[in-house]
Structure 1
Amino acid sequence: MPAVGSITSRALGLPPSLSAGLILLGCCPGGTASNVVTLVAQGDVPLSIVMTVCSTLAAVFLTPLLTKILAGAYIPVDAVKLSFSTLQVVVAPIMLGSSIQTAFPSVVQFVTPFAPLMAVLASSLLACSVFSENFVRLRSTIADASSVNGDFFSGDIGVVMLSVILLHFAGFFVGYAAAAIGGLKEKQRRAISIEVGMQNSSLGVVLAAAHFSSPLVALPPAISAVIMNIMGSTLGLVWQYITPSGSENETTDIHNA
């Protein structure tokens, strides 16, 4: 995904700040919404959760490192500060959740049946919040940049949307294709496709706003917060009505056992 972000930004000729934002988005770990979409798509949910956890923990080091390597050619990147912010945003909630589950198991057991619905609502509200909080500020910045030096015109926002769509589409496609080439079953293919295609765009917005001087860096992650959830949800709904091949055999084997 970082490589796709870099290639896409070069192919579309995005300005430096927007290129850095798209690369930063590609360097983010898998989003938590991917687990819910995998559940809807009849994919392998445990695999999706393991992938999310692994990419989230690795993001503390890999997100700053890859952003520094790929986006450092466009604008200055402080990898150390990015690493600390990533640690606060993605690792601290995991530790808090694990602590609550250990300390209050009865409460967790009571809440668990409502967790999927709560996750969908929380993800939707978070996506809307990320986009709305940055829209006015980003729009004014775009207008200022256009009037001052013509670096980026508001009419070109469609190109940014296209770059985000291409990034996520590539993730869905390459993830599924790689799993198929690896000989994995349909449920695993769906899980990997969704996990690769859906990024933690909220983390991208937080890092962009905290560590980059230009608000334009936050534009690709902010747009992704909406587009990614639409693409992922649509894919999940399509797969919901297509039973994964091999599922019938697994059910028969369980009955026989």
Structure 2
Amino acid sequence: MGTLFTLCCAVLLTHGTPWSQTNLNVGRHNLKADDSFITIGDGSLLEFEFPENSKGVIVVSTWYSNSSTKGQKQTLRVQSLDPEVLSILNVSFSRVSVDAQSYIISIRSGFPGRVQLHIQLLRQERDSAPVLIAERTDYFIIVVPWSDDPASRLIRSGGLSHFSEHPVLFALLPVIFVNKCAFGCKVEGEVLRKLLRRPVPLLLGAVGQFLVMPLYGYCVSQLAHLPKALALGLVITCSAPGGGGGYLYSLLLGGDVTLAISMTLVSTVVAVGAMPLSSALYGQLLGVHAALHVPFIKILGTLLFIAIPISLGVLVKLRLPGLTRLLLMLIRPLSVLLMVGGIFMAYQMGASILANVWPHIVVVGVTVPVLGLGVGALLAQLAGLDPPQRKTVSIEVGVQNSLLALAVMQLSFRRTEADFASQAPFIVALSSTSEMLFLVLVHLARNHLCPPANQCDA
């Protein structure tokens, strides 16, 4: 598609070249010695349209007549005043004639919008800075959305796939439900009563998830010079509540499962108010004025999908001891299966986005779970919590529900821009799952080589 579009652009913008060249030949005799000009195509248009997310070319013709500077090198400099709408890939010299020089400008369009070009013709003198000959700022490129016809949809296919549409997720739903019932069998009533009397871990989780992490997302996006939409996607991801995998990791890493479930439920409720506030605040700081939509229905669905099977598991623990023993036997293998299945699904769906993702967003995404784990561990250490609770608070702060962040992106932006902004939650989710799997494998290997009974487990 990119090659086809480039050829089309070259034809469209150079179809008037013979006519333009004729006019140049006629007009050359009317130019004074120091006259110069810059034109795009045949010079008859000041605005050109390109479809979003495409590559193309612009043909620029220049003329400069000054007998005292003949033989000196001339260069063309082209700048897009809004790189998120249009980026300049390179400027290459095309040909020179008696009357004019031609340059081919390779461009890549981004989000729909109107962008001004700054074109400068420079004379390069030996051992000195370039001298400006002529410049133009009255040319504009209008990036237009793709039409919604079937052919355009086929061209756009291959973008970010959505977690909620993936068939593997539907295949795993029964396993997820049974696994959550098994977690309900792990809930300890005494731990819940202690949390009601002293909810310090719950408060620490809220502070880490909704204050520290969004601030980090904003700061690191500025340091990495991320585009506005991508920076906001990162901030919203860092503002998301704890994910359902938090209590899964707590189980496998020797944390407090009851605390983990409680923190996930509480943070999901708090997210109803915290995510809109965080999105509005950092959206203002980033200069993104899109109307952000927090998926309240999805948040409610997340709450119910956690609360209902876990409550059912609690009832099974009270009434059916035989079934409880079976579920507790299945909880670890099912948890590992879901973790591996989640990584497989994420990598498979993200194949297209991983091929085009910016390298620095990968680096930034990898740091988010690491920082969250560190912040949670530090807060828990300062609060004097016991080791299982420290692990749990650390995990809950470090593992975000990236599905909610993805939903915010898809509801708030156009599809193309939403997929671009969704790189942040996707990379964070993939990094988080991969890093936690690594920690689980290290933990299991350490326990195998140095069992806790020998007090080798730190």
> TM-score by structure 2 length?
0.45
- When structure 1 is superposed on structure 2, of 17-26 and 230-239 the one drifting more is 230-239
- For 2:289, the aligned partner's letter is P
Is the aligned partner of 1:133 residue 2:334? no
Contact preservation (8 Å) 1:176, 1:189: yes
SS of 2:294 mapped into structure 1: helix
Find the counterpart in structure 1 of residue 294 from structure 2. 82
Contact 2:299–2:404 (Cα < 8 Å) also in 1 = no
Match of 2:264 among 46, 52, 76: 52
**Is 1:230 equivalent to 2:446 in the alignment?**
no
Deviation string, structure 1 residues 165-195 (Cα, Å, up to 9, x no partner): 2221111111111111222222222111111
> In 1, are the aligned partners of 2:361 and 2:424 still within 8 Å (CA)?
yes
Deviations along 1:19-58, one digit per CA (max 9) or x if unpaired, are 0111111011111212121222222222222211111121
Mean CA deviation greater in 202-211 or 97-106:
97-106
Matches of 2:262 and 2:378, distance apart in 1: 20
> Which residue does the alignment assign to 1:145?
none
- Specify whether residues 134 and 230 from structure 1 end up closer, same or farther in structure 2 by C-alpha distance, changes over 3 A only: closer
Q: Give the letter for the 2:249 counterpart.
A: V
Question: Could you tell me how far apart the structure 1 residues matched to 2:312 and 2:389 are?
Answer: 30
Check whether the contact 1:128–1:225 (CA below 8 A) recurs between aligned residues. no
Mapped pair 1:114 → 2:333: no
Give the C-alpha shift of residue 111 in structure 1.
Answer: 4.0
Moved more, 188-197 or 117-126: 117-126
Offset at residue 89 of structure 1 (A):
4.1
CA contact (8 A) 1:29 1:199 kept: yes
Matches within 5 A, 1:1-257: 1-72=213-284, 73-79=286-292, 81-97=293-309, 100-101=312-313, 109=324, 111-136=327-352, 138=353, 157-213=358-414, 214=417, 215-240=419-444, 241=446
Q: Take 1:131 and 1:204, find their aligned partners in 2: how far apart are those partners? A: 18
Q: Secondary structure at the match of 1:31?
A: coil
Q: Please give the alpha-carbon distance, in whole angstroms, between the structure 2 residues aligned to 1:206 and 1:22.
A: 13
**Which structure has the highest helix share of the two?**
1
Kept in 1, the 8 Å contact 2:260–2:393? The answer is yes
C-alpha separation between the residues in 2 aligned to 1:201 and 1:23? 11
Distance 1:68 1:85 in 2: 19
Taking only aligned residues, the RMSD between alpha carbons, in angstroms, comes to 3.1
Equivalent residues of 1:22, 1:221 under 8 A apart: yes
C-alpha distance in structure 1 between counterparts of 2:280 and 2:347, whole Å? 25
Is the CA contact 1:168–1:198 (under 8 Å) kept in the aligned structure 2?
yes
Cα deviation, residue 229, structure 1: 0.9
By relative contact order (CA 8 Å, sep 6+), the higher-ranking structure is 1
Contact 1:128 1:226 in 2 (8 A): no
- Counterpart of 1:122, as a letter, is L
Please give the secondary structure, in 2, of the residue aligned with 1:82. Answer: coil
Equivalent pairs counted in the alignment come to 231
- How far is 1:78 from its partner? 3.6
- 1:68·1:77 contact (CA, 8 Å) conserved in 2? no
SS of equivalent residue, structure 2 residue 231: helix
Deviations 1:202-257 (A, max 9, x none): 222232223222111111111122210111222344445379x9x96xxxxxxxxx
Asked if the contact 2:295–2:407 (Cα under 8 Å) also holds between the matched residues in 1, the reply is no
Q: Which one-letter code corresponds to 1:228 in the other structure?
A: S
The residue type paired with residue 260 of structure 2 is: S
Deviation of 1:159 (Å): 0.4
Would the aligned equivalents of 1:41 and 1:238 in 2 still touch at CA under 8 Å? Answer: no
Instruction: Give the distance between the partners of 2:354 and 2:384, measured in 1 at CA.
Output: 46
In structure 2, distance between residues paired with 1:48 and 1:210: 29
Q: Do the aligned partners of residues 224 and 70 (structure 1) sit closer, same or farther apart at CA in structure 2, a change above 3 Å counting? A: same
The sequence identity of aligned pairs, in percent, is 24
The secondary structure found in structure 2 opposite 1:36 is helix
Give the letter aligned to residue 212 of structure 1: F
Relative to total residues, which structure has the larger strand share, 1 or 2? 2
Distance 2:287 2:301 in 1: 25
1:22 to 1:91, Cα distance in 2 relative to 1, 3 A: same
In structure 2, the CA distance between the partners of 1:219 and 1:64, relative to structure 1 (3 Å rule), is same
- Alpha carbons 1:67, 1:77 under 8 Å: kept: no
